[in-house]
Structure 1
Amino acid sequence: MSCVAAVFALFTTTKVNAQGCVAIRSTGGLCAMDEHPDSASAAEGSWLLNSNSRYFRSYKHFVGTAEQKQRIALGTNVINHAYTNDITLTRIFNNRWSFAVDVPIVDNSRSSLYEHGGKERLQTHSFGLGDVRLTAYAWLLNPAKARKGNIQVGLGLKLATGAYNYQDYFYHQGTTDAKVLGPVDQSIQLGDGGTGITTEINAYYNFTHKFGVYGGFYYLMSPREQNGVSTARGGTASAKAIANGSDIMSVPDQVMLRAGASYGTGKFDFSAGARYECLPVHDLVGGSNGFRRPGNILSAEPGVTFRLKTLSIYAFVPVALRRERTQSVPDKISTDLTGTYTQGDAAFADYAVNIGITYRFK
């Protein structure tokens, strides 16, 4: 069942964590779509322990879909290094129901000129616990009858356990070379400060023993509009930021879609698919004001999984095909106030690396 084997690792890496300044941070771990619900691995009372490491380097700036190549040429681009390790423990109650707890550990750094006086590239950092996620999963179809394919739904809570006011020093070079302690940029904060509701739909279908297709949908709904954290990096917010509402960080929704095909041979399973990640301009519930960098990334996502009896090792590398920084609510307010079209930028990565291991035990 190649598709079943592939979705084991594919949904292990179902983390909404876009590749850049668009602050879509890791909010999920192992989806329960890990094994066929009728397989021995899904036996009543079994456990799954997953460790997934994700890394990317964002450094290319976009306004809309247009890359701002001059930023790299001039050395004014922002460079983010983002690393997240998700430890996820899943309890499989039976071949239909399971429950997962995901605990992310986050290590980020960000270098820039503009945040430190504009004369020298310096760094800020953040490290610690991210936002924990709790999710219950259920297969919709009877596994005894739906042997070729099935649909799984998930409903959970994303907790505000990660620091969303993490602070580091900014160096405002000038006559005094002042060092100021302030909240780091939203893109490297450990959490967003909001309790959210997560929804998932995962599905697979096997055409043959070796070939199949998969698909998945994830949405994080964040009712809280703003988290109260200043965007002034330890300084005083500008009149423009106050006027358009970007002086305080927003708590945005998050979206992800995945689809593809897989092929299994021996102990290996190979997959090729598409991955779409989005931080929307407007939330489904609650307001949408405050500072955010809305945008989306469409990626090609090849992957490989090596499977043993109780252990699986996988690697997935989504490679960006299209990157877009959309117009935020503060951008729209500035456009209305000034009569001049305003749209901010964001830095994106070329690719991300997901490497993980999953162990099944009683």
Structure 2
Amino acid sequence: MKYLIISTLSLLLISTQASSQGCVAIRSIGGMCMMEHTGADTTESKWMFNANNRYFKSFRHFVGTQEQPQRIANGTEVINHSYALDLTLTRILNKRWSLAFNMPILYNERSSLYEHGGKERHTTKSFGMGDVRFTAYAWILDPASHHRFNAQAGLGIKLPTGDYKYQDKFYTATPGVTVYGPVDQSIQLGDGGTGFTTELNAYYNLSHRVNLYGNFYYLINPREQNGVSTARGGTPSPTAVAYGSDVMSVPDQYMYRLGANFQVNRFTLSGGIRKECVPAKDLVGGSNGFRRPGYVVSVEPGVTYAFKKMSLYAYVPVAVKRDRTQSVPDMIKTDITGTYAQGDAAFADYSVSIGMNIRF
């Protein structure tokens, strides 16, 4: 029983959300609900509530894995400030099954020159609810008899409740002239698609103080494009139309985490590796339309403090590899022009996740 409590509590708290790492629009996926379980005493807690706050600033531009330091030196870098509050309510049905509802609240600011005529830096913003998720979870093995190792599978649906057409004011090259148009894909509140989520969360106890964890999440978005223009209130260029980047895509995304926990009294110290990715091509449906595919690999230290019915946690994933990969429009442009094309994206150095979990 002690092994199980340590393992599942640690996994519940460290499974924080993935969200956009800058221009690579990795949507918020909430707490990666690794449900706490206490063997035969499942009736003690029927509900769990998790609130997770995540913030980052992206400003370093990459083409592939090569940083573009001239962007900062020239003052032409794009700067995103992103904040996400993920609220997750979980109903424990019995010792193996649970249901969860996740709602993200998002606030983003994006400053740039190129979106505002290229002469002065201005800011666009977005604020509101993101795409909500409903997920069903089940332990693969009976938790009452499998204390050393277990895995939990999750299957859910993501609904397009976030405003994926959010607009703000853009300045033009003509002094005093502004237009309203959809903000950049990286700060849109939703992606405009109904998606299906798959999760797998597992632990293995090495001792009563040390255990290993693993989380995997994949979002399948069958819709190819959401119809939102990338011209920021203007008219798409002929080249954007020719390459298919004039309309925003609805991309898949995935995340995985691997690491270890060490418990000292009420504290749990953790360290691991984390990867968040928007692939260039989707598993289901087409992949054309504007997207910035890429991934971030981070080392992820964290700490959790557990009370009787509540736990507090903080995690700081620090990027060790950033890669803006070639998109489908990049591939089309390469075929048409005969010259290899690959766009850039801005990434963060690190993100900060702070949250709490309450059982009742």
TM-score by length of 2: 0.97
Q: Once the 2 structures are TM-superposed, how far is the Cα of residue 225 of structure 1 from its aligned partner?
A: 0.1
Q: Any gaps of 5 or more consecutive residues in structure 1?
A: none
1:250 aligns with 2:249: yes
Q: Once the 2 structures are TM-superposed, how far is the Cα of residue 39 of structure 1 from its aligned partner?
A: 6.6
Letter in 1 for 2:36: E
Does the 8 Å contact 1:30/1:88 carry over to 2? no
Letter in 2 for 1:236: T
Match of 2:22 in 1: 20
Match of 2:146 in 1: 146
Match of 2:59 in 1: 59
Does the 8 Å contact 1:18/1:297 carry over to 2? no
Does the 8 Å contact 1:194/1:222 carry over to 2? yes
Q: Once the 2 structures are TM-superposed, how far is the Cα of residue 30 of structure 1 from its aligned partner?
A: 4.8
Does the 8 Å contact 1:163/1:189 carry over to 2? yes
Does the 8 Å contact 2:295/2:322 carry over to 1? yes
Residues 30 and 44 of structure 1: CA distance in aligned 2, closer, same or farther (over 3 Å): farther
Does the 8 Å contact 1:3/1:261 carry over to 2? no
2:9 to 5, 9, 27: 5
d(CA) in 2 for partners of 1:123, 1:287: 32
Match of 1:231 in 2: 230
Match of 2:262 in 1: 263
Tell me the alpha carbon deviations over residues 196-248 of structure 1, each in whole angstroms, 9 at most, x when there is no partner.
00000110011111101000110000000000000000000001100000000
Match of 1:309 in 2: 308
d(CA) in 2 for partners of 1:220, 1:8: 20
Match of 1:135 in 2: 135
TM-score by length of 1: 0.96
Q: Once the 2 structures are TM-superposed, how far is the Cα of residue 37 of structure 1 from its aligned partner?
A: 4.7
Q: Once the 2 structures are TM-superposed, how far is the Cα of residue 68 of structure 1 from its aligned partner?
A: 0.2
Match of 1:29 in 2: 31
Name the SS for the 2:119 alignment partner: coil
* Over 2 Å off, 4+ runs: 1-5, 27-30, 42-45
Does the 8 Å contact 1:279/1:296 carry over to 2? yes
Tell me the alpha carbon deviations over residues 74-108 of structure 1, each in whole angstroms, 9 at most, x when there is no partner.
00000000000011100011111000000100000
Letter in 1 for 2:342: Q
Percent of residue pairs identical: 62
Name the SS for the 1:287 alignment partner: coil
1:275 aligns with 2:277: no
Map 1:78-157 to 2 at 5 A.
78-157=78-157
Letter in 2 for 1:84: A
Give the number of equivalent residue pairs: 356
